[in-house]
Structure 1
Amino acid sequence: MTDCFPDATILPFDGKEPQIHETAFVAPGARIIGDVTIGPEASVWYNCVLRGDIHRIEVGARSNVQDGSVFHVEGPRPDTDGEPTIIGEDCVIGHMAVVHGAQLADRAFVGMGAVAMDGARIATGGMLGAGALLSPGKRIGEGEIWIGRPAKYYRTQDDAQIAKIKFQTERYCKLAQRHLAELRSATS
């Protein structure tokens, strides 16, 4: 598996090996550990860490996890089964975001430097603004924008903003293929 993604660290943990679709892109310097699934045409960019050591992480088809982002999970405790990190399809995760035991529905957006904590949920087309902090257990509704630290409801997205999320996912799918071609060219 690691031959497909040179210079990325892809490691099993506790008997669970990352599952990365053959059409996904994992950039050099990314760290993918344990119970992690990365779907078709998804991309995990430079210096990201996805650590599925005490619960699972899933990244859906065509979603992108941009440079320096960190995904982790909440493991089981006496009072809970823990919280996986689940990213739906066509999601955008901005640079340096932290997603910890949170779940995003399809076409959700997490802005640059934002944090989504344990048990947080972002519904379809929901947006957590750049630098925002979504506290444990908070819910962003369908198409809602939340901003601030702690994040609070700001307004609902219009059609133009929803179209921008689709544009971003399509752009990152194409960009990932260009990076992959350049990397293959540089190593051959």
Structure 2
Amino acid sequence: MPYYRLEGVTPVVHPTAYVHPTAVLIGDVIVGPNCYVGPGAVMRGDFGRLVLEEGANLQDTCVMHGFPGCVTKVEKDGHIGHGAVLHGCVIGRDAMVGMNAVVMDGAHIAERSIVAAAAFVKAGFECEPQSLVMGAPAKVKRPLSDEEFAWKQQGTQEYQRLVTRCRDSLEPCEPLAEIDADRPTLLAGDTQPKQQTLDKK
């Protein structure tokens, strides 16, 4: 695992978390219980502390870095989509940041909110709980419906189950030369239809 101590400060990973072997954790990083850190994710705690609270996920190729002296945090059950960048911000409890979104220093995404894919959230941004945040620069478009928030929770729960799946069965291997007979398909819950609803509003 690429973990790096910096100036005597060592990353902390709870035993129930899963951190992919290609993720990089440096310095003042704290990964809480039942968290998922995906392939190629980087948590670079060389300026400030980086925290993933219980049940949060940081997906493939995400970058988490801090403004000097601050705490960058994803609170309990936070959900950070592929390729997102979090810099010196706080992502509230049960909130989601979509794929390739950027959230800048001092921004606070309130609990149960969703930042849309590819949004750019400026420094110091704040919103009310259960907001839909979209655009570049990002603005609050409207409140989230309970149905939309339930869709977010369903996706987060799939990532929490993925922690156990990876810890129990993920292992390096050589690829097969041909498709094996009776090949199983790895399927999680069906969350895609609700995503289309969010994108159209």
Return the TM-score normalized by structure 2. 0.83
Map residues 1-188 of structure 1 onto 2, 5 A cutoff. 8-75=1-68, 82-184=69-171
For residues 49 and 141 of structure 1, what CA distance do their matches in structure 2 show?
A: 29
Structure showing greater Rg? 2
Runs of 4+ in 1 over 4 A off after TM superposition: none
For residues 131 and 121 of structure 1, what CA distance do their matches in structure 2 show?
A: 17
CA contact (8 A) 1:83 1:118 kept: no
Partner of 1:79: none
Equivalent pairs counted in the alignment come to: 174
Larger mean CA deviation between 58-67 and 163-172 belongs to 163-172
Larger mean CA deviation between 163-172 and 177-186 belongs to 177-186
CA contact (8 A) 1:74 1:83 kept: yes
Partner SS, residue 133 of structure 2? strand
Q: Structure 1: where are the runs of 5+ without partners?
A: 1-7, 76-81
For residues 127 and 155 of structure 2, what CA distance do their matches in structure 1 show?
A: 20
CA contact (8 A) 1:62 1:91 kept: yes
Aligned residue identity for 1:109: M
RMSD: 1.4
For residues 34 and 166 of structure 2, what CA distance do their matches in structure 1 show?
A: 13
Aligned residue identity for 1:147: M
> What are the Cα deviations for residues 126-165 of structure 1, in whole angstroms up to 9, with x where unaligned?
1111000000001122000110110011111001111112
> What are the Cα deviations for residues 13-41 of structure 1, in whole angstroms up to 9, with x where unaligned?
11111110000000120001100100100
Partner SS, residue 178 of structure 1? helix
Return the TM-score normalized by structure 1. 0.89
